[in-house]
Copies of this chain bind each other. A is one copy, B any other.
Amino acid sequence: MDSPADTTPLAALLAQLPQPQPGRRKGALHGSTVAQLRNLIVTGALAPGAKLNERELCLQLGVSRTPVREAIKTLTQDGLLRALPNKSSVVAELDVGEIEALIDVVSTIEGLAGELAAARATDEAVAEIGMLHYRMMLHHTRDELPGYFEANKAFHRRIVELSGNPVLLWIWELLALRVDRARYSSNLWPKRWKMAIQEHEQILAALTAGDAALASQRLREHVRNGLSGLVAALKDKAAKSDSA
C-alpha cells in the first residue's frame, strides 16, 4: 500500500500534511481570520501603509489563501484596508483629516443614540450602563489602559443598543472601528480621563431623567471633546516626528 508515487498521485501526499485539527468546526475560518487581521490593524501592529502579502498572511495565520482573501475584502469594505488592482492591499492611512470628518459623524450618530435611548431608558438599563461606568472608573484608578478602553467602549455601545435601532448600531460599529484605530494610534491622552468620567456621569444623569434632548446634547459634546482631543494629540505627534 505504501508503495511509491504512481499510486498516490499528489493529492494523497498533500492530504497528510494539513492535520485537520479535530477541534475546528467548518464555517469558522472566515470569521476568525477577519477578527485576527482586524485586530492587527486596529491596534497598529500592522502599521498604516503596510503592504499585505497574502502568502505571508497564510503562513502567519495558518490558513489558505481563500479565507485570507475574503478577510482582506471584508476589511477593505470596512475602510481599514485599501485595495489596488493587481497589487497588494495596504493598511489604510489614518489621516487626520479623516478623523476630523469622523468627529461630525460619530458625534451626530451618538447624539441620536442618546436621544432614542433616553426615551426608552428603564431603571434596569440605566443601572447596567452605570455599572459599565463604574467599571471604567475602576480601571482608571488602577491605570489600566486596555481595561479602560474596553469599558469605555462598552459604555457607549450599550447606549447605542439601548436606542433599540439596529441600523444605528450597525453604523456605530462601522465607525467604532475607525475610532478605535485612532485611539490606539495616539494612546497619549490620559489627560482626558478625568473629564471623560465626569461627562459620562452627566450623560448617565440625563438618561436617568429620561431627558432625550439633554442626553443627546451631552453625548454629542462628549464625543466631540474626546475625538477633538485625539486629533490634537495626533497633530502634536505628527509635529514632533516632523521636527525630529
| Residues in chain A within 8 A of chain B (CB atoms) | 26-27, 30, 69-70, 73-74, 77-79, 85-86, 98, 101-102, 104-105, 108-109, 112, 116, 165-168, 170-171, 174-175, 178
Q: Which residues of B contact A79 (CB under 8 A)?
A: 170
Give CA–CA (A178, B166) in the complex, Å. Answer: 13
Tell me the minimal C-beta distance from A73 to chain B in angstroms.
Answer: 6
Q: Which residue of B lies closest to A97 (CB)?
A: B166
Given the interface pairs A79-B170, A86-B27, the reply to whether A165 lies near B109 with Cβ below 8 Å is no
A105-B167 CB under 8 A given contacts A26-B86, A27-B85, A86-B27: yes
Contact B104 A108 (CB under 8 A): no
Structural contact, A166 and B104, CB atoms closer than 8 A: no
| Identical subunits present | 2
Would you call B77 and A166 a contact (CB within 8 A)? Answer: no
Smallest beta-carbon distance A159→chain B, Å: 15
In the complex, chain B residues whose CB is within 8 Å of the CB of A166: 98, 101
Chain B residues closer than 8 Å to A101, beta-carbon distance: 165-168
Interchain CB contact under 8 A, B26 and A165 = no
Q: Which residue of chain B has its CB nearest to the CB of A165?
A: B101
How far in angstroms is the closest Cβ of chain B from A230? 15
A86 surroundings in chain B (CB, below 8 A): 26-27
Q: A171-B171, A174-B171, A175-B167 are in contact. Are A105 and B98 (CB under 8 A)?
A: no
Shortest beta-carbon distance from A31 to chain B in Å = 10
Known: A26-B86, A74-B77, A98-B167. A112 touches B104 (CB 8 A): yes
What residues on B are CB-neighbors of A26 within 8 Å? Answer: 85-86
Instruction: State whether B171 touches A105 (Cβ < 8 A).
Output: yes
Residues of B within 8 A of A170 (CB): 79
**Cβ–Cβ < 8 Å partners of A175 in chain B:** 167, 171
Q: Which chain B residue has the least Cβ–Cβ distance from A85?
A: B27
Supplied contacts A104-B116, A108-B112, A171-B171, 20 more A-B pairs, CB within 8 Å: A26-B85, A26-B86, A27-B85, A27-B86, A30-B73, A70-B70, A73-B73, A74-B77, A77-B77, A101-B166, A102-B167, A105-B165, A105-B167, A105-B168, A105-B171, A108-B108, A108-B109, A167-B175, A171-B174, A174-B174
